[in-house]
Amino acid sequence: MTFSVLIFTYLYLRSPSLSNLMQISCVCRYPLGMSGGQIEDKDISASSQWSESTAARYGRLDFEDGDGAWCPDMSVEPESTKEFLQIDLRSLHFITLVGTQGRHAGGFGKEFAQMYQIKYSRNGRRWVSWRNRHGRQVIEGNKNAYDTVLKDLEPPIIARFVRFMPITDHSMNVCMRVELYGCEWLDGLVSYSAPIGQLMVHRGQHIYLNDSVYDGEVGYSSGMTEGLGQLTDGVCGLDDFTHSHVYNVWPGYDYVGWTNESFPGNYVEILFEFDRIRNFTTMKVHCNNMFPKKVKTFRQATCFFRSSSDWEPTPVTFSPVMDDVNPSARFVTVALNNRMASSIKCQYFFADAWMMFSEITFQSAKYLLRFSPGDDPTHKVDDSNTRILIGCLVAIIFILVAIIVIILWRQVWQKMLEKASRRMLDDELTASLSIQSETFTYNNNNQSSAGSEQESNSTYERIFPLGPDYQEPSRLIRKLPEFSLSMEEAGTSGVSKPVQAGPQEGVPHYAEADIVNLQGVTGSNTYSVPAITMDLLSGKDLAVEEFPRKQLTFKEKLGEGQFGEVHLCEAEGMQEFMDKDFSFDVSNNQPVLVAVKMLREDANKNARTDFLKEIKIMSRLKDPNIVRLLGVCVCSDPLCMITEYMENGDLNQFLSRHEPEGQIALACNAPTVSYSNLHHMATQIASGMKYLSSLNFVHRDLATRNCLVGKDYTIKIADFGMSRNLYSGDYYRIQGRAVLPIRWMAWESILLGKFTTASDVWAFGVTLWETFTLCKEQPYSQLSDEQVIENTGEFFRDQQRQIYLPQPACCPDPIYKLMLSCWQRNTNERPSFQEIHQTLLGCLV
């Protein structure tokens, strides 16, 4: 278990290597400067303009200057999509989102583009039409002159120049205001050239391993040249290459793959061209390793370097350790030994009949630091580091809010806003999400500047913000009248007034942590730890002992994450190993079952440090209702932590197998559970949470799936959920990437990214509800994920339109009342775990 959201966040930001593992191109979404002004007028041009007052420079989202937008001169060129608005970003950017608006002009304008296309270019010469993953070029634009419509670019674009090309049917004029969202492309990779990916026929199934989004030239003899595509689109393939993250595509979509039959030299050669000469530290190749299907990572990579006209004679050769045990896809890291080059040519040797890659990223050392004479270089480093850190934190917080707001925006409030008068938009509401400095005070000083030397460490880390002043989320929020009210006032009046919304109570924001947790770095996770507590807890030496590894016998895999796995094992001699005061949940002479969380041997240093920290934190948690850390194996690799496991598995599965006492159970001879058993279990969960909250731990994912059941209905709170496929339906994927247990989350966690003990209380209410429905249905099972999020908006607005979970059949009134109190809108009106525990003890009928 990870108790260390913040540490993870922190390490993740500090140690780029961790971030590799996260698919967070959804984090790279900053406005690139049309509305903020960073893009200068001279860099905005157009094919034509209708008048001087509708020139290209007026095409800035949310600006009302000139006549309020860019409008082309459509009378000249009747052909559609000949007109364009062009933006020069001055350097390569990774662009993930675009926003468009029509001409509003204070209510006088009514022109907008219902549809448009996008073209882009990296060098200003070769232009490519953007297509989505299904090959469609046309993007749906605006429906009125004032709303901003945001569209995800899937796949994202890597470009310096972007053109918006409105499509019209000539029944109306079009005008556009636009914004691009993304971040700088720090890998510096301009193109790769590779042989065409091939077709695999496996048991009659056709698996297309072509590069589905390659934007360069494709010729049958020349292969793919001059483009970028799947290997840089920020999406890592799944373990099973026949499946994909992407909806409704052909098998093999995520990978580019080749068979050894077509390569007599037994290797595939890929040429990488960069924007300038760089000092390369590493290359990371995300490979499939499904060896039962004859797919393996490469056996050897030999890379040649070129910084002028000739290839240097000495290559760098690297042979990874082959893994015949674990069929998971993984990043293989090749050290490039600080070679300087502007082109790299690598030969990847087959280890089996097939080789499949889904991402390749390059990391290069930063150019010599630029500091003026007299500056203290170390200061400079720290400074930039802090800025990056702060930037990232701000960004992640904003992004989560933004994503959610966008969802809400699209689905709930769009209609409402259309009706709402434009007056609202004109009101200068000055609400902005102020991010308070507490959020950034978790820097732990002895973790120095690992992140600063490297310019970019992965695809997902292109994610450096352009500055701390991006304002998109608040701008969106500004348009929603509710958000302009402070939390207490919202919903009580329909009149907007300028008040600051956002984190004001000094409660730290943990939104950023989501993204860190989501991939379950070492298998599972999620208690978040305020830094203070963390220091308190980890100040002392490790309070847990080394357990002899050979006494562990593997039984079953419980889950897995990017860096490790969780196994169910039998531990021989565990009873003797533990203190006398610790009693196991087994009869004597029975083997003790334990959950063993293992760090993969190839995990990097930061993952290891992290893992050790986690051990430290966990070793301090001692409560009868919290799963205990029993022992560790840290003397040799792989690092393991051994925690309790209980014979009845998790509470969700346990309750699903049972029926309430009564007629039905008798009739079908099912195992039963009585009301008092349920009550007893709920009380224990409350007790465990009381303990966690007394230490200021925030669990963040309390649910029945994360509680273990032992003998006599004993309960211990654990956390395995995220990594188990069994429960994937309980988590909601945002943009296909971030996953959140939205049905258990408090409204403020979803909307504002706030995770506190009070939001744990909310989740406790849902857990209580699950318990009393015997987990026979998912919370809000009749609502789709989107509707759950809409409902969250209703909780926020508090106009009595929110839907509460219903009272379960066998749930007495006082217990249901307790649930409802957990779902109070205002966090300070929710009971504390102390109170909940008392109430539960008191209402035993």
Ligand X SMILES: *[C@@H]1O[C@H](CO)[C@@H](O)[C@H](O)[C@H]1NC(C)=O
Spell out the residues 6+ positions from residue 462 whose beta carbon is closer than 8 angstroms to its own.
25, 28, 94, 183, 184, 185, 186, 187, 456
CB of 228 to ligand X, least distance (A): 13
Nearer to ligand X by Cβ, of 353 and 542: the residue is: 353
CB of 137 to ligand X, least distance (A): 14
Binding-site size, ligand X (CB under 6 A): 15
Q: Are 328 and 236 in contact (CB under 8 A)?
A: no
Q: Would you count residue 261 as binding ligand X (CB under 6 A)?
A: yes
Residues, the chain, total?
845
| Interface stretch with ligand X, choices 258-266, 651-659, 736-744, 816-824 (CB under 6 A) | 258-266
Contacting ligand X (CB under 6 A), which of 49, 260, 519, 773? Answer: 260
783-842 binders of ligand X (CB under 6 A): none
Helices 675-694 and 833-842, axial angle in degrees (round to 10): 160
Nearer to ligand X by Cβ, of 63 and 208: the residue is: 208
Active site residue 650: no
Residue window 215-244: x/- pattern of binding to ligand X, with contact defined by CB under 6 A = ------------------------------
| Interface stretch with ligand X, choices 165-173, 259-267, 811-819, 834-842 (CB under 6 A) | 259-267
Nearer to ligand X by Cβ, of 296 and 658: the residue is: 296
Nearer to ligand X by Cβ, of 277 and 536: the residue is: 277
Nearer to ligand X by Cβ, of 224 and 401: the residue is: 224
Q: Which of 211, 701, 719, 760 is catalytic?
A: 701
171-210 binders of ligand X (CB under 6 A): 208, 210
Nearer to ligand X by Cβ, of 84 and 258: the residue is: 258
348-387 binders of ligand X (CB under 6 A): 352-353, 365
Q: Would you count residue 212 as binding ligand X (CB under 6 A)?
A: yes
Contacting ligand X (CB under 6 A), which of 340, 536, 788, 810? Answer: 340
Q: Would you count residue 262 as binding ligand X (CB under 6 A)?
A: no
Instruction: Say how far apart CA 840 and CA 684 lie, in whole Å.
Output: 10
Count of CB atoms situated within 10 Å of the CB of 107: 14
CB of 210 to ligand X, least distance (A): 4
Q: Are 142 and 102 in contact (CB under 8 A)?
A: yes
486-515 binders of ligand X (CB under 6 A): none
Instruction: Say how far apart CA 593 and CA 570 lie, in whole Å.
Output: 5
Single-letter residue type at 621 = L
Nearer to ligand X by Cβ, of 264 and 539: the residue is: 264
Bond prior to 624 in cis (omega within 30° of 0): no
Q: What's the 3-state SS for 611-676?
A: HHHHHHHHHCCCCCCECCEEEEECCCCCCEEEEECCCCCEHHHHHHCCEECCHHHHHHCCCEECHH
Q: Are 236 and 23 in contact (CB under 8 A)?
A: yes
Residue window 462-491: x/- pattern of binding to ligand X, with contact defined by CB under 6 A = ------------------------------
Contacting ligand X (CB under 6 A), which of 127, 250, 440, 804? Answer: 250
CB of 256 to ligand X, least distance (A): 10
Q: Are 687 and 679 in contact (CB under 8 A)?
A: no
CB of 327 to ligand X, least distance (A): 16
Instruction: Say how far apart CA 733 and CA 742 lie, in whole Å.
Output: 9
Residue window 286-325: x/- pattern of binding to ligand X, with contact defined by CB under 6 A = ----------------------------------------
Count of CB atoms situated within 10 Å of the CB of 665: 15
Instruction: Say how far apart CA 302 and CA 269 lie, in whole Å.
Output: 9
CB of 127 to ligand X, least distance (A): 18
- In the chain, the N- to C-terminal Cα span, in Å, equals 35
Residue window 443-462: x/- pattern of binding to ligand X, with contact defined by CB under 6 A = ----------x---------
Q: Render the burial of 242-279: b for 16+ CB within 10 Å, e for the rest.
A: bebbbeeeebbbbbbbbbbeebeeebbbbbbbbbebbe
Contacting ligand X (CB under 6 A), which of 38, 48, 137, 279? Answer: 279
CB of 250 to ligand X, least distance (A): 5
Q: Output the CA angle 204-206-210, nearest 5 degrees.
A: 160
Quick one: which H or E segment has residue 139? strand 139-140
CB of 467 to ligand X, least distance (A): 26
Nearer to ligand X by Cβ, of 252 and 660: the residue is: 252
CB of 447 to ligand X, least distance (A): 19
Nearer to ligand X by Cβ, of 311 and 675: the residue is: 311
CB of 214 to ligand X, least distance (A): 6
Phi, psi of 523 (to 5 degrees): 125, -50
Tokens 């607005």 belong to which residue? 797
Instruction: Say how far apart CA 8 and CA 617 lie, in whole Å.
Output: 13
Spell out the residues 6+ positions from residue 445 whose beta carbon is closer than 8 angstroms to its own.
none
Q: Would you count residue 528 as binding ligand X (CB under 6 A)?
A: no
Question: Which residues participate in catalysis according to the annotation?
Answer: 701
Summarize as ranges the residues that interact with ligand X (CB under 6 A). Answer: 208, 210, 212, 214, 250, 260-261, 266, 279, 338, 340, 352-353, 365, 453
